[in-house]
């Protein structure tokens, strides 16, 4: 995977934030939106709505923010998601975006040393995603917070290394794989997927716009 920077170069933030424990999956059945957060005072739905993320690390699948009819034409969702993301950035949790892009093996460089700089021609649609996300720099998004991978496995790898408190993803398989490792997961736009229904720490929503105040 690769971390890509908007403005300044430097080491990617690696310090792990303290995280609440993952709720056991064999607890008495509880709806995900009723799962209490670490201090027991707010449900995850309430915490998402009030942006109560002090000291938490938030990881977001970029497809929860954008639509991609093709790699060359990503666009920000027009349902209020953008306003919510700006508010989330303003709340200043430790935030990362996961971006999955297709790899063009014919353009794969012999060296990966330039990955810390600008977009690589190896990754199809990478520059287009960076261009779409660039306006969020005004809300505090930095290039080292935007991470790229070429397979769904990258989402799992990112989460195991960054150890987010909340993972916002559009992929039911990723939610199912990580539900025992990430304290709280918000699954966007997947409906009531049977893979994740058994996990009390997974909240399923149609859109992040649901939490816009």
* Four-residue CA torsion sign, 34, 39, 44, 50: positive
What whole-number distance in Å separates Cα of residue 199 and Cα of residue 179? 7
Question: What is the Cα Rg of the chain in Å?
Answer: 17
pLDDT of res. 57 = 95
pLDDT of res. 158 = 92
pLDDT of res. 125 = 82
Question: Residue 185 belongs to what H/E stretch?
Answer: strand 184-188
What whole-number distance in Å separates Cα of residue 89 and Cα of residue 68? 22
- Kindly state the tokens that stand for 156: 């799992």
Residue 48, φ and ψ in degrees, nearest 5: -65, -40
pTM for this model (two decimals): 0.76
pLDDT of res. 159 = 92
pLDDT of res. 174 = 92
pLDDT of res. 124 = 74
Each of the 213 residues of the chain gets a pLDDT tens digit; together they read 444 444 443 333 333 344 555 444 433 334 444 555 555 578 889 999 999 988 899 999 999 999 998 878 899 998 999 999 999 999 988 999 999 988 765 555 444 433 333 556 566 788 889 999 999 999 999 999 999 988 888 999 999 999 999 999 999 999 999 999 999 999 998 676 667 878 889 999 999 999 986
């Amino acid at each position: 995977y690769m971390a890509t920077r908007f403005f300044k170069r430097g080491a990617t933030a690696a310090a792990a934030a303290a995280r609440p424990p993952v709720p056991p999956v064999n607890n008495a059945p509880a709806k995900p939106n009723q799962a209490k957060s670490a201090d027991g005072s707010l449900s995850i739905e309430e915490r998402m709505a009030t942006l109560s993320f002090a000291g938490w690390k938030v990881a977001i699948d970029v497809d929860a923010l954008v639509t991609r009819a093709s790699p060359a034409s990503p666009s920000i969702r027009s349902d209020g998601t953008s306003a919510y993301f700006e508010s989330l950035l303003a709340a200043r949790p430790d935030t990362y975006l996961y971006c999955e892009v297709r790899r063009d093996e014919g353009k794969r460089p012999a060296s990966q040393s330039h990955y810390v700089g600008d977009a690589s021609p190896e990754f199809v649609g990478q520059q287009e995603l960076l261009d779409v996300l660039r306006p969020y720099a005004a809300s505090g998004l930095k290039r080292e917070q935007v991470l790229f991978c070429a397979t769904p496995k990258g989402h799992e790898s990112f989460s195991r290394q960054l150890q987010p408190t909340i993972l916002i993803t559009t992929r039911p398989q990723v939610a199912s794989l990580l539900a025992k490792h990430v304290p709280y997961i918000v699954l966007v736009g997947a409906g009531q997927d049977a893979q994740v229904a058994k996990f009390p720490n997974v909240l399923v929503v149609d859109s992040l716009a649901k939490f816009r105040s």
